[in-house]
Amino acid sequence: MHDTVDQIREQWADVRPELDSTPMGVIGRMSRASSLLDKSIRENFAGFDLLPGEFDVLATLRRSGSPYKLTPGVIGELTMVTSGAITNRIDRMVDKGLVKRELDPDNRRIIVVVLTRRGRELINEVIDSHVAHEIKLMESLSDGEQKQLAELLRKLLVGLGDIPQGDEKEPAED
């Protein structure tokens, strides 16, 4: 089996044989896979008139549990998006009737974003389609290969500093 990244590495080997292109094999494939996966996932969401960022907000609110409301700041932290981008997403989603803004009853200075009934119905439909689509995207790998790849990618992400908030460990004392 041969892919585009193999071709790129072979070309480098021809012109720079002393160059260790091993990381290119990993990073190049992750980058290409990410682009291809993103394109396919975007197309799936488009069938629901959703952008990926809108899906992220709906999914974040839905998995937060009842009453399905969070502050824009928390949504931004959980989706790793700037406050300006979250504001734009929420504005579009309010216009679509998927979420609404409300004052927090416990602190009327705080605005919360609430998933509407229409938003809950949509995310419940979209998540089923999304998971089925992801299963199809991964069908070239066995269950064991998927688990192995997930573990390796987790190890890489943690090594790159991707640690959930609250999971940061205190440095060990000597």
Q: What does the pLDDT look like over 97-109, one tens digit per residue?
A: 999 999 988 888 8
**pLDDT (average), residues 117-126:** 97
Q: Provide the pLDDT for residue 42.
A: 96
**pLDDT score, position 16:** 96
**How far is it, in rounded angstroms, from Cα 160 to Cα 39?**
25
Cβ neighbours for 118, distance < 8 A, ≥ 6 positions apart: 97, 98
DSSP state of 112: E
pLDDT value of residue 173: 47
Evaluate if residue 126 carries a pLDDT over 70.
Answer: yes
- What is the pLDDT at residue 168? 57
Domain boundaries along the sequence of the chain: 1-47, 49-153
Q: Are 124 and 144 in contact (CB under 8 A)?
A: no
Cβ neighbours, 10 Å, residue 54 = 23
**In the predicted model, is pLDDT for residue 171 greater than 70?**
no
CATH 1.10.10.10 applies to domain 49-153: yes
Above 60 in pLDDT, residue 174?
Answer: no
Alpha helix segments (H runs only) across the chain? 4-15, 22-46, 52-63, 72-79, 83-95, 117-137, 143-159
